[in-house]
Amino acid sequence: MISLGFPWALLLLPLPLLIWRFFPPHRERVPALRVPFFRQVADAAGEEPGPGSVVLARTRLQRAFGILAWCLIVLALARPERVGEPVEITKAARDVVLAIDISGSMDARDFETPEGERMQRLAGVREVVRTFVEAREGDRMALIVFGSKAYVQAPLTEDLPTIIELLDSTEVGMAGPHTALGDAIGLAIRTFETSEIESRLLILLSDGADTASRMSPVNAAEIAADQQVEIFTIGVGDPNAQGEDRVDLVTLEAIASRTGGEFFYATDAKALEAAYARIDDLAPREVETLSYRPRLSLAWIPLAAVALVGLVAVAILHFGSRRKALA
């Protein structure tokens, strides 16, 4: 489809006619020499004197070239353009950070699969998280792993296969044997600071009690709430275990409630899948769709035509004047 980017320029089309109609030709007085007996001299020379000033008349061809050139110039000013088919761009309207506990207790082989087999906790978590991440196509996600300290494995990105690859490459104990819940929340808050998107979601999975944070998890959750970060917490450990191996369900629930999120407790792969499915229901994928039509400027076509018309007019005038001179 062809359209005009600035159709108001077409109002300039009658401008030369208005100037010709309402503005008289320019006149200028110049000094002249008066000769006595000029008429007698002209008669004696056999010449017929002409008027004092001459207004050159234009031929029909010159007028046609002038009108055509002006119309093409105005058309170029109107910016003709070819409008393409609508193109839609979908981008994430929510940023999601995954914070996964990889402390020493995640090495326990008590995570039950749907088939009834027991496997390492971290391996079972990976399988479920992989499915969740794949279903969030179009979202921006970041990955944080934590043990004694918290580390950003991947900043906010739409490259979800890389998130999955980095998660698969993590091993138990890489971040230390202890659990730093508060530090993981604090690092997630700093990760969100690089985002301009207001909707922010942190999914925090842990199987132990906080023993290594410089800030308590509940205080960190209060700060997250002030930054409009919604936290969903998932506990996957044994609440009856001893020491750091005992999952602190009370703290995880308090973290979620402080930020308006939800708390889940999963004892096996099926329960963990249900937890992530519930998160999908509570926080469905949010996208923003932008639509635009690509535009290709065609103003060069009338401009090229003006140049061609000018060359043709000059050529015709030049050869016409030479023909008269030879005649």
- Name the stretches of the chain with pLDDT < 50: none
Close Cβ partners of 326 (under 8 Å, ≥ 6 residues apart): none
The verdict on 115 and 68 lying in the same domain is no
Model pTM score: 0.63
The verdict on 234 and 101 lying in the same domain is yes
Length of the chain: 327
The pairing of strands 80-83 and 295-297 is antiparallel
The verdict on 172 and 298 lying in the same domain is no
Q: Tally the domains of the chain.
A: 2
The verdict on 143 and 234 lying in the same domain is yes
The verdict on 73 and 153 lying in the same domain is no
Q: What residues make up the domain containing 270?
A: 89-289
Q: What is the pLDDT of residues 96-145, one digit of tens each?
A: 899 999 988 888 787 777 777 788 888 888 888 888 888 877 678 899 99
Kindly state the tokens that stand for 291: 């639509």
Q: What share of the chain is helix, strand, coil (3-state, %, to 5)?
A: 45, 20, 35
- Looking at the domain assignment, is residue 36 inside a domain? no
- Looking at the domain assignment, is residue 322 inside a domain? yes
Q: Rounded to 10 degrees, what is the CA torsion of 214, 216, 220, 221?
A: 160
Please give the DSSP secondary-structure letter assigned to residue 132.
H
The pairing of strands 94-101 and 80-83 is unpaired
Query: For the chain, how many helices (H) and strands (E)?
Result: 10, 13
Cα distance between residue 155 and residue 258, in whole Å: 25
Cα distance between residue 252 and residue 250, in whole Å: 6
- Looking at the domain assignment, is residue 48 inside a domain? no
The verdict on 225 and 283 lying in the same domain is yes
- Looking at the domain assignment, is residue 190 inside a domain? yes
Cα distance between residue 156 and residue 195, in whole Å: 8
- Looking at the domain assignment, is residue 39 inside a domain? no
The verdict on 299 and 236 lying in the same domain is no
- CATH number for the domain spanning 119: value is 3.40.50.410
What are residue 203's phi and psi, to 5 degrees? -105, 115
- In this prediction, residue 150 carries a pLDDT of 92
- Looking at the domain assignment, is residue 31 inside a domain? no
- Looking at the domain assignment, is residue 140 inside a domain? yes
Kindly state the tokens that stand for 263: 């708390």
Kindly state the tokens that stand for 312: 């043709």
- Looking at the domain assignment, is residue 40 inside a domain? no
The verdict on 103 and 234 lying in the same domain is yes
The verdict on 149 and 227 lying in the same domain is yes
- In this prediction, residue 224 carries a pLDDT of 92
The verdict on 129 and 260 lying in the same domain is yes
The verdict on 68 and 173 lying in the same domain is no
The verdict on 68 and 186 lying in the same domain is no
Kindly state the tokens that stand for 58: 């234009």
Cα distance between residue 102 and residue 104, in whole Å: 7
Instruction: Let me know: does 172 contact 104? Beta carbons within 8 Å.
Output: yes
